[in-house]
Amino acid sequence: MTLNIAYRWFCGFDLSDRVPDHSSFSQNRRRRFSDESFFRKIFTGIVIQCIEHGLVSGEQVVSDGTFIPANVSPESKVETIKQVERSTVSYLDSLDDELRETAGYKEPVVVTQERLELKSSTDPDCGYIHQERKKGLGYLAQMTVDTDHGVITGVDCYPANRRESDIVLRHVEQQMTETGLRFNGIALDAGYDVGAVHRGFEHLGIVDYCSIRHMHNNAMRKGFIYHPDTDCFVCEKGKTLNYASLICKKGAGYYRSYKLLRSNCKGCERLEHCAVDKGSIRINASPFYPSYYANRQRCLTAEYKRMKRLRSIWSEDTFAALKNNHNLSRHHKRGIARATEECLLSAAALNLKRMAKSA
């Protein structure tokens, strides 16, 4: 660093000035900056500068998560039995309030059960993931990227076994609060195709363009057609299943129940394909099914195709740049705080480069 002219210029040192010793950085990080809050302030400050210089508009953003291996040996993997509470996921405070005001709402019964988890004996904060293209102990880095110039507007880090759909709403809400930025449209992959996520973005004033996750028990695959204007399903024979109430299933969360008396379907040859419960033809759907259906309709538009293309460009490009050029191919520190710190610093460095490139 003593002989690096670019370093001196960036930090404002003259050629005759003494530059800080490397130990000054290491000791400051160890003693003064023991959590990620300081590094988050640095990252957020850079994002705010990008907004002020017109590099970030929030018009169209993309959000995704990526797996980053932890700094542990595979042999450190241990099985642990953990007592967990099975209850509804709190996606957003405003969503919780909306459910409470819905007819049929009941306070969920908390069910405690034992669950086997794979952890690391050297880094208990990381999680184990086993999917087709990613497997191992590590962390999930959730990031949002503005598509104007590729500036990363939000960074969060979680154990790798967390579901992306559970965390994306608070992830977006937090960066909107910290930066004052307002997003208009967001592109997501099929892992976020959950009714609560779609409704949550409506609460945040954002139009989400989310790829469809095909579910085997989808009512529309059985010939039913949903009518959003009347909030009902109509079968192939023209019979209507109206919305009945919100149901809370013990330990499994909420769903919307649509019903039709079975007596209205006597002699129908399609009856064997319908779900029957207590004398009624029923369809169980997401508690926020109207929002879920609205996203499916958006997927038929040209705007969805354009947003999907932006997601494939900026999401994959950003993660590739961070992993290949900014030391984020794997974590070098242990613990969720240090893992978050690494993600924030890497994202801040990439933002500075893209800021300079756009100047």
pLDDT tens digits for range 80-110: 887 766 667 788 889 888 888 887 787 777 7
Confidence of residue 1 (pLDDT cuts 50, 70, 90): low
Q: For the chain, what are the domain ranges?
A: 37-212+299-358, 219-287
Cα–Cα distance, 140 to 309 (Å, whole number): 23
Question: Strand 232-234 to strand 240-249: parallel, antiparallel, or no bridges (unpaired)?
Answer: antiparallel
* Burial annotation 129-139 (CB, 10 A radius, 16+ → b, else e): beeeeeebbbb
192-248 per-position pLDDT tens digit: 999 999 999 999 999 999 999 877 567 766 788 899 999 999 988 888 999 988 888
> Distance (Å, rounded) from C-alpha 303 to C-alpha 199?
19
Coil, strand or helix: which one is 91? coil
**Tell me, what's the pLDDT at 276?**
81
Closest CA relative to residue 197, chosen from 165, 228, 172, 173 = 165
- Residue 22 pLDDT greater than 90, yes or no: no
Q: What is the pLDDT of residues 248-280, one digit of tens each?
A: 876 567 888 898 888 888 878 778 778 787 788
Please tell me the pTM assigned to this model.
0.87
Residue 34: predicted pLDDT = 62
In 3-state terms, what secondary structure has residue 146?
A: strand
Instruction: Compute φ and ψ for 12, nearest 5 degrees.
Output: 85, 25
Cα gap 14→115, rounded to integer Å: 60
Q: pLDDT per residue over 321-356, tens digit each?
A: 999 999 999 999 999 999 999 999 999 999 999 999
Better pLDDT: 35 or 338 = 338
User: For residue 118, is pLDDT > 90?
Assistant: no
Please give the class, per CATH, of domain 37-212+299-358: alpha beta
User: Quick one: what percent of the chain has pLDDT higher than 90?
Assistant: 55
- State the pLDDT at residue 113: 72
Higher pLDDT, 254 or 301: 301
b/e burial code for range 323-357 (CB count within 10 A of at least 16 → b): beebebeebeebbbebbbbbbbbbbbbbbeebbee
**CA atoms of 166 and 138, how far apart (whole Å):** 18
Please determine, for residue 294, whether its predicted confidence score (pLDDT) is greater than 80.
Answer: yes
Average pLDDT for the chain: 88
Rounded Cα distance, 141 and 238, in Å? 47
pLDDT score, position 309: 95
Q: Give the pLDDT band (50/70/90) at residue 29.
A: low
What is the structure's pLDDT at 18? 82
- Among residues 153, 152, 119, which one has the least CA distance to residue 138? 119
**What average pLDDT does this structure show over 34-59?**
89
CB 123 within 8 A of CB 334: yes
Give the pLDDT confidence of 66-82 residue by residue, as tens digits: 999 999 998 898 888 87
Measured distance CA(230)–CA(18) in Å, rounded: 73
For residue 62, the cross-strand partners are 145, 187
Q: Name which residue leads in pLDDT, 35 or 140.
A: 140
Non-local (6+) Cβ contacts of 301 within 8 A are none
For 317, the 3-state DSSP assignment is: helix
**Under the phi-then-psi rule, with left for phi > 0, alpha for psi from -120 to 50, and beta for the rest, what region is 244?**
alpha
